[in-house]
Chains A and B, each alone.
Chain A
Amino acid sequence: MNRIAQVIDQFGRSVLRGVEEMGSMLLLLISAIGWMVRPPLKLRLIFKQMEFVGVKSIFVVLLTGTFTGMVMALQGYYGFRMFSAESLVGSTVALGMTRELGPVLTSLMVTARAGSAMAAELGTMRVTEQIDALYVMAANPVKHLIVPRIVATVLMLPLLTVVSDFMGIIGGYFVGVPLLGINEGAFVKNITKYVDLSDIYNGLTKAAVFGLILALVGCYKGFNTKGGAEGVGRATTEAVVLASISILISDYFLTAIMF
């Protein structure tokens, strides 16, 4: 009996911790929005983060997008060939990329690259008292550190997703048309026939939401780091895991609402 009580107690505590953490993250977001609209806008810091999150992620997003499109075309071809519908490979790749894989894979790659770096950088700043130094100099750390990261990530994620979508379709085309011999006209025509502009818009909206999630989680975990180098490592791991899970869960709900 005692054992069961302990298990319930532990479960209750972790639920409470989770709820508390979500509440704190929401408060941080509200505070960030408050500082976002208060001038002066720290444009230089925003551009710096845009370069880090966006420009420096292009290569990895490009690779991920291309190979995802290629593998989708390959798998799709084997499936569609069974009932002679190979010409649908193009539209399948395009729909898959624009609606789901473009935004989700781009966000996961940026989480691994930039979300982890946000947690590690802010975590190091916390344990080496650099965040305290900002407070002491009457400079708000949310405005200086968190707002630029959130703004930059929300702006850059849709742009990176465009790159990923485009490269995925190009990759699919490359595998489908020259390698597997699908008719070029049918491949392209089916893309324009089945892919709506709304598929692209909704995918990009998803990417912006995922950008908000990954930047908020990365900043929150880094900002609240405790306990030296070990704490920074823990914060970084937690940021990547929590952001990735949150992206995948929110993807389901966004898809349910949008499509």
Chain B
Amino acid sequence: MIELVDIHKSFGKQHVLDGVNLTVEQGKTTVIIGRSGGGKSVVLKHMIGLLKPDSGKVLVEGTDIARMGDRELNEVRKKFGMLFQEAALFDSMNVAENVAFPLREHTRKKDREIMEIVRENLHSVGLPDVESKMPSELSGGMRKRVGLARALAMRPRIILFDEPTTGLDPVMTEAINELIIRTQKDFNLTCVVISHDIQSIFTVGHRIAMLYDGKIIEYGTPDEIRASRNPVLVQFLSGNLEGPISVL
């Protein structure tokens, strides 16, 4: 479904991605784990064409989006939904207008139909009574759920989640994980989740990939990852200060 082939990306002198190879399987949730500032979001932004690689290919359903023009890229983007780290709701619009935005932009549906879809989507993320609220009036967890409702509005085939549970309390974390699992199953979505919340990655992931030093150093099912002897992965999962990942 999505294939990253030998992606290299630098920002100034900083070489962030150093030959990333990763295949995201259709209808599965792939979780990318790795250190903070290690380039996970950069990988995700390549998948949807927000960043272009210095070299390498980003294949979405077999087509390289890294070489596409804006118009073609926009057509590909319609297959995607994305939940940003801080939800990225438009703060000049209320919740309903935020969720309705992609529908107003890309469909010719009447206002009544759009509002029905908005209500349905907000209901599916457990937020039935917030339509007229502004994003600034919502808690972090609510904002993320509205962000998910907006990402789902166009019924995408692929959803990208950028640290969906960061900064949330344990109960809200579990609620968001549950939502990811449910929506993935209900709509048979292909999901890519970025996370460093160890509990969440094993809850939501069908496949887990570890990004370290600009490369994917380990990839497998949750059981394979748990059983891995790779010292970097072992240290990352255990949260040990001693090991190949030097922090202090």
Chain A contacts to B: CB under 8 angstroms: 124-125, 128-130, 132-133, 135-140
Q: Which B residue sits closest to A124, measured CB to CB?
A: B91
Do B88 and A138 touch across chains, with their CB atoms under 8 A apart? no
Residues 52-86 (chain B) with a chain A CB within 8 angstroms = 70, 74-75, 77-78, 80-82, 84-86
B102 at the interface (CB under 8 A from A): yes
B33 at the interface (CB under 8 A from A): no
Q: How far is the CB of A53 from chain B (nearest CB, A)?
A: 15
A138 to B72, CA, bound (A): 10
Question: Which residues in A have their C-beta under 8 angstroms from that of B43?
Answer: none
Q: Which A residue sits closest to B78, measured CB to CB?
A: A138
Q: How far is the CB of B44 from chain A (nearest CB, A)?
A: 11
Question: Which residues in B have their C-beta under 8 angstroms from that of A130?
Answer: 88-91
23 A-B pairs in the complex with CB atoms less than 8 angstroms apart: A125-B90, A128-B86, A128-B91, A129-B84, A130-B88, A130-B89, A130-B90, A130-B91, A132-B84, A133-B84, A133-B88, A133-B90, A135-B77, A136-B48, A136-B50, A136-B81, A137-B101, A137-B154, A138-B102, A138-B105, A139-B101, A139-B102, A140-B74
Chain B contacts to A: CB under 8 angstroms: 45, 48-50, 70, 74-75, 77-78, 80-82, 84-86, 88-91, 101-102, 105-106, 154
Q: How far is the CB of A102 from chain B (nearest CB, A)?
A: 31
Do A138 and B50 touch across chains, with their CB atoms under 8 A apart? no
A129 to B106, CA, bound (A): 21
Question: Which residues in B have their C-beta under 8 angstroms from that of A132?
Answer: 45, 50, 84, 88
Q: Which B residue sits closest to A132, measured CB to CB?
A: B50
Question: Which residues in A have their C-beta under 8 angstroms from that of B45?
Answer: 132
The residue that B88 contacts in the complex, of A129, A139, A140, with Cβ under 8 A, is A129
Q: How far is the CB of B229 from chain A (nearest CB, A)?
A: 37
A140 to B106, CA, bound (A): 12
Question: Which residues in A have their C-beta under 8 angstroms from that of B78?
Answer: 138
Do A136 and B82 touch across chains, with their CB atoms under 8 A apart? yes
Do B74 and A138 touch across chains, with their CB atoms under 8 A apart? yes
A140 to B69, CA, bound (A): 13
A129 to B86, CA, bound (A): 8
Question: Which residues in A have their C-beta under 8 angstroms from that of B81?
Answer: 136
Q: Which B residue sits closest to A136, measured CB to CB?
A: B82
Q: How far is the CB of A227 from chain B (nearest CB, A)?
A: 13
A124 to B90, CA, bound (A): 11
B78, B82, B88: most-surrounded residue (chain A CB, <10 A): B88
Question: Which residues in B have their C-beta under 8 angstroms from that of A124?
Answer: 91
A124, A129, A130, A136: most-surrounded residue (chain B CB, <10 A): A136
A137 to B80, CA, bound (A): 8
A136 to B101, CA, bound (A): 12
